[in-house]
């Protein structure tokens, strides 16, 4: 930032910490903000608000302003528990309107290479919830990445001995897909999981 302004240099430094924002984008964002001073105020204020009000739900570890969150304190089916990696995964499942149970956010996925061991995840808290005896099915909705699959396998091995049903989201052809563009592994899973019409 040369000698323009120390506070601008500092802002650019903070913006650069955001994912997908490099030096050039950070500069562009900073100069954009300078041209829209009202946006600076509103952004600073909303950051402070988030910092003050948003916390993790002490039951499911989703994001919430009231603890427990609206799902945990609501009338949702307590016998099915959907395990996700991150709070935003809940959004994806809620949008589908296909699940009426409760959630448990792992806050990550197992990744020994990046130093994420079971202790870093909310596994102990999950096992504690399952001890209650109310949950009869755990739907594992971790991502279909190496880390997500490893986490799913790890959880399955932990939960099965408790005589709780463990399920996983189905693989298959995405809605609206052209078959010719779908990868072979997905088609294979779709054939294996075919359903009666």
* Interface positions with a second copy (CB under 8 A): 1-8, 10-11, 13-15, 17-20, 25, 27-34, 36-37, 39-44, 46-54, 62-65, 69-70, 86-88, 90-91, 94
Q: How far apart are CA 172 and CA 88, in angstroms?
A: 22
Counting Cα atoms < 13 Å in the Cβ hemisphere of 50 gives 7
Query: Least distance from C-beta 193 to a second copy, angstroms?
Result: 29
Would you mind telling me the total number of residues written for the chain in this entry? 197
Query: Least distance from C-beta 72 to a second copy, angstroms?
Result: 12
- Look at residues 84, 89, 146 and name the one whose alpha carbon lies nearest to residue 121: 84
For a second copy, give the closer residue by CB, 44 or 127: 44
Strand partners for 165: 137
Q: How far apart are CA 102 and CA 61, in angstroms?
A: 11
For a second copy, give the closer residue by CB, 8 or 164: 8
Residue showing tokens 């499942």: 93
Query: Least distance from C-beta 106 to a second copy, angstroms?
Result: 13
For a second copy, give the closer residue by CB, 43 or 191: 43
For a second copy, give the closer residue by CB, 47 or 162: 47
Query: Least distance from C-beta 67 to a second copy, angstroms?
Result: 11
Contact 110, 119 (CB under 8 A): no
Helix (H, G, I), strand (E, B) or coil at 179: helix
For a second copy, give the closer residue by CB, 4 or 144: 4
Query: Least distance from C-beta 119 to a second copy, angstroms?
Result: 17
């Amino acid at each position: 930032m040369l000698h323009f302004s120390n506070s601008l240099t500092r802002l650019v430094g903070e913006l650069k910490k955001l994912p997908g924002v490099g030096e050039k984008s950070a500069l562009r964002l900073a100069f954009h903000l300078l041209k829209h001073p009202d946006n600076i105020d509103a952004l600073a204020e909303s950051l402070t608000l988030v910092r003050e009000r948003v916390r993790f739900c002490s039951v499911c570890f989703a994001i919430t302003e009231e603890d427990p969150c609206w799902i945990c304190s609501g009338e949702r089916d307590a016998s099915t528990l959907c395990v996700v990696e991150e709070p935003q995964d809940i959004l994806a499942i809620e949008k589908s309107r296909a699940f009426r149970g409760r959630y448990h956010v792992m806050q990550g996925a197992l990744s020994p290479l990046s130093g994420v061991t079971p202790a870093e995840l909310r596994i102990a808290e999950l096992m504690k919830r399952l001890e209650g005896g109310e949950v009869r099915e755990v739907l594992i909705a971790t991502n279909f990445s190496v880390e997500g699959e490893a986490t799913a396998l790890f959880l399955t091995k932990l939960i099965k001995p408790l005589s709780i049903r463990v399920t996983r989201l189905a693989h298959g052809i995405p809605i609206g897909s052209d078959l010719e563009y779908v990868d072979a592994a997905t088609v294979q899973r779709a054939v294996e999981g075919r359903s009666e019409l």
